Amino acid sequence: MRIISILLALFFCLSSRAEDGSALWLRYATGTKAEISCRKQSPTLNIAVSELQKHWKGGIPVALEVNATKELRALGNEGYTIRTSADGKQITIASSGEQGVLYGTYHLLRLQATEQLLNPNPSSNSSSDSNLSSNSNPDSSLNALNISEKPDYRIRILNHWDNLDGTIERGYAGHSLWKWEELPAVISPRYEAYARANASIGINATVVNNVNASPRILSDDYLQKVKALADIFRPYGLKVYLSINFSSPVALGGLPTSDPLNKEVIAWWKKKAKEIYSLIPDFGGFLVKANSEGQPGPCDYGRTHAEGANMLADVLKPYHGIIMWRAFVYLPTDSDRAKQAYLEFEPLDGKFRDNVIVQIKNGPIDFQPREPFSPLFGAMKKTPVMPEFQITQEYLGFSNHLAFLAPMWKECLDSDTYVQGAGSTIARVTDGSLFSHPLTAIAGVTNIGDDVNWCGHPFAQANWYAFGRLAWKHSLSSEEIGEEWLKQTFLPISEQSRSDSANELSQKERQQLHSQLSLLNFSKSPGKQ
């Protein structure tokens, strides 16, 4: 309760000075032209250069570098290093991939915005790989940056439950961000702002439509609309995925069946995949809700979930696409909803293709705030599985109430399955470290809409932010994440904002705010989260 009290105090204290929320946590400092260098040019690298030129105020030149050294290859295309040269005259952000350079750029700006670069004695409970100097000079940390990071999950994905008519299932922040009736002719500037916000916290994938999917999303005209979004998202490293209706061959293709073993059905899906990838070469794949709450699926034809998923996986395999197959199978006739997913999926362990990952809600019932974790975590040892968290507050106040969800997600990820003895946490079950699955992912059902502040409630933005940060590094504490978000959202960080009386905080107010923020790092114990 204490963290909630602090958040409420901050909100009411600062609401008169705060922005309308449209800038999210990206209220970076402005007003200086930093010295930034990069030998290569590309849409992604150009974004990184532009962000630093506009917002870097460290006073030290920054070089961006794409390099294939052994160390950088080990970090992957999304990992990065941030290091100060031996003479202290240059900071280099390096990665084996352009996307890693962009993520490193946003991390450096995050350190600046949260004033970690100005603190000679960073918090002892920080899980950052930073090696900052403890010199008495507050700027000395800039002379000793030694950061090495890579994401814990390969795919860090938002699930939009947006319908084609503009409504959002379990949406509490207005209508859909996607103006389907205007696309592809009219491009909202918020599409790029959305991609930028996700890149800033390491989210690299998005499903743009509801799991209760309309077959029309695969029609020619809607694929052109999806292509327009994919083209905007691509420079930010954000891949597009689609939820599909399993009966699309019948509803859209005019076939008499959608049986996954039927040759005509397979041919239809192959043709559709070819069409999609001709428009969107980096298309991520499909998310499938099947045989749950009335949605069609392979069981309608006497086939298993594995047979349905594998047919689609084989279709996408040549394009390196994946299938995320939801384990949320709920039939009202079942006597015990809590056991249904386990009974249907555990016997199928090891029968899925290697480009199929089973998406499991945190609990066996639904996204309930107080229920045990799903027993499927740890039970499926031969099959990649991924957690599905709900960012939108279906069971926690409909975004009318302040609810910081990071502690709940941390509780799930840190829970021990004991499948290979103590320490077999859900995080380790799903991030590839326990079972060595190369395909790893984590999903969050997003709370984003077309409201000015994106999420309905001013503090609901914190949950979007928290999901991204945990998806990148699940060892971060909820207190660290909360403090990061608060500082970036509410602290005036630019000289420009300080000169604006509407946003000006006195030194006394600033000290009080820092004091309140420090309370977020109270010792962890049951009942304090």
Q: Please, which residues bridge with residue 389 across strands?
A: 444
Give yes or no: 394 in active site.
yes
The phi, psi pair for 350, rounded to 5°, reads 90, 0
Sequential DSSP letters for 40-62: ---HHHHHHHHHHHHH--SSS-E
Task: List, in order, residues 6 or more apart from 486 with CB less than 8 Å away.
Answer: 7, 10, 462, 517, 520
**b (16+ CB within 10 A) / e for 358-375:** bbbbbbbeebbeeeebbb
The number of angstroms, rounded, from the C-alpha of 165 to the middle of its chain's C-alpha atoms is 25
Instruction: Tell me which of 51, 394, 431, 479 is the catalytic residue.
Output: 394
Catalytic residue among 129, 293, 334, 495: 293
Residue 325, beta-bridge partner list: 288, 358
Bridge partners for 445 per DSSP = 159, 390
Cis peptide before 387 (omega within 30 of 0): no
As a whole number of angstroms, the distance between CA 179 and CA 166 comes to 7
Active-site residue 293, yes or no?
yes
Residue pair 53/29 in contact (Cβ under 8 Å)? The answer is no
Q: CA-CA distance, 133 to 146, in Å (whole number)?
A: 10
Nearest to 138 by CA among 109, 166, 117, 162: 117
Which neighbouring-strand residues pair with 514?
none
149 close to 100: Cβ distance less than 8 angstroms: no
Three-state SS for 310-361 is HHHHHHHHHHCCEEEEECCCCCCCCCCHHHHHHHHHHHHCCCCCCCEEEEEE
Does residue 431 carry a catalytic annotation?
no
Catalytic residue, chosen from 282, 366, 416, 450, is 366
Q: How far apart are CA 338 and CA 402, in angstroms?
A: 28
Q: How far is CA 4 from the centre of its chain?
A: 24
Task: Please answer whether residues 68 and 89 qualify as being in contact, where contact means their C-beta atoms are separated by less than 8 angstroms.
Answer: no
The catalytic residue positions are 293, 366, 394
